[in-house]
Each structure stands twice: as structure tokens, then as C-alpha cells.
Amino acid sequence: MKDKVIIITGGSSGIGRACALAFGKAGGKVVISARNAQKLNEVGQELEAADIEFLAVTGDVSKEEDCHRLIEETVARFGGIDVMLNNAGISMRALFQDVDLAVIRQLMDINFWGTVYCTKFALPYIQQRKGSIIGVSSIAGFQGLPGRTGYSASKFAMQGFLGALRTEVLHQGVHVMVACPGFTASNIRNTALAANGQQQGESPRDEGKMMSAEEVADKILEGTIKRQRELIMTGQGKLTVFLSKWLPGLTDKLVYNHMKKEADSPFK
């Protein structure tokens, strides 16, 4: 990653923050973007302390104009783009029968359209340098998860978009990778939206037993360097993807039983 320019959305916490440090320590020039200016500034201070060259751009990936500005400011500062890491994302936890449709719309705007907007504006620069486009997805992009209809839909859409794009740029030297961390210790469950659109606040899972954001970042960095097509990071995730292809009915039952074990599960 020596002197490579890496844009990371959702760079103010969790996997985004960890990726900024990992790619920066590998020699990259890091551009971080997020809505929360204060948290973005805190990550910027960490990068500065680690002697990592960086640019912080406050913005909302669900807004096309913010994504365009992110790309323009990056190119103005560093002259090009080598890696577009689409990490910004939000989750939900509610039955479809109960959820406000605005919640699903918000998930699609951030998780799917945010990836589309940033990739659209970054693509010409990625093509010039034969760089990488990465989407941080989820096992929910392979197997629909109950209580996460909007989240699953957004990740299926992201993976379909990136898969089609990968084929379009097949002979242009552009690398496209989908990274699926599985359950990761981050704040995504704390900020997940409930049926009414409010953040649920408490995670329904034991965060201490999950893969750390730093482990995920190291794997994404390695996958970028090796120009991998797909990165499924946990044994549970690999098993779920395999079973969903060959034993889909059984997988539905296993996933249902697994999800109903969550605290305050609606599937009691």
C-alpha cells in the first residue's frame, strides 16, 4: 500500500477506523469520511499520532452530492485514487410486519446507494490506476436474516451491483472485492434501527465473543493486496454460504433458530 490513496467511508468507528489504521500503517494515504465530525476528528488524531498521511471529509454517503465532494477533495489533495473502500453501513432489527418503511429506505440509501454513489464518482480514477473497489458486506448478502429484511436487501443489492461491475471491468485491470466479516465487535448493533427508526441502543449479542474490528481490517488489507474476489472471514459464515446454496430449506431453519436465541428476540 506504499503511497496508495485509500478512501474509507464510515471511517469514524468500528471497521472503518480499524481499516484506516491498517491501510495507513501499510504505507497508504488515507481518506476517511463519516457524518460525525467529532468522531472523525478523533480518528484523525489517531492517524496523525501514527504518522499516517490522511484527509478527513465530513459527509453523508446517502447524499449523492456529498459522495461527489468526497471524491473531488481526495483527488484535489492526492491526485488520484487507488482503493475505494465502501464501508459505511447501518443495520436494523425488527419484523417486516412492524417496521416503518422509512427504515428500509434509509438502509438502502446508506448501504446500497452510498456504495453506488462513491463507486460511480471514484471509478474513472480507479480505472486509471487499475485499483480496487471494495464493498464491506455481510453474510446477510448471501442468506436473508429474519428481523433484518432491510439490511439483507441492501447487502444483496450491494453484492449484485459489485458483481455486475466486476464483469464490466473484467479486462480493465480493476479489482472488485466483496468482504463479509460475519458478526464483528463494533457499534453496528448498538446503532441498528428498531421498527420505529430509533436506534436500539443495546446490542442483543455478546460482543466479546466476536471477531474484532482490527482482525477484520487486517483481512481486508490482505485481501486487497492479494486482489481477492470474495472474502468470507468466519467458519460460521462459510458454512452458512455453503448450506444456503446446497441445502436452502435446512439453512432457513438453522438461521431462524440461531437468530431467535438473541436477547429480546421477536421469534420466541
Catalytic residue numbers, as ranges = 151
* Closest to 200 measured CA to CA, from 263, 140, 267, 257: 263
Q: Crossing angle, helix 64-78 and helix 114-129, to 10 degrees?
A: 30
CA distance 35 to 19: 17
Other beta carbons within 10 angstroms of residue 175's beta carbon come to 19
Give strand pairing partners of 4: none
Phi, psi of 123 (to 5 degrees): -55, -45
**Cβ neighbours of residue 144 closer than 8 Å, sequence gap 6 or more:** 152, 156
Residues in the chain: 268
CA distance 211 to 193: 22
The letter for the amino acid at 173 is G
DSSP 11-45: TTSHHHHHHHHHHHHTT-EEEEEES-HHHHHHHHH
Q: Which cell is 55 given?
A: 484527509
Q: Crossing angle, helix 149-168 and helix 114-129, to 10 degrees?
A: 20
Other beta carbons within 10 angstroms of residue 11's beta carbon come to 30
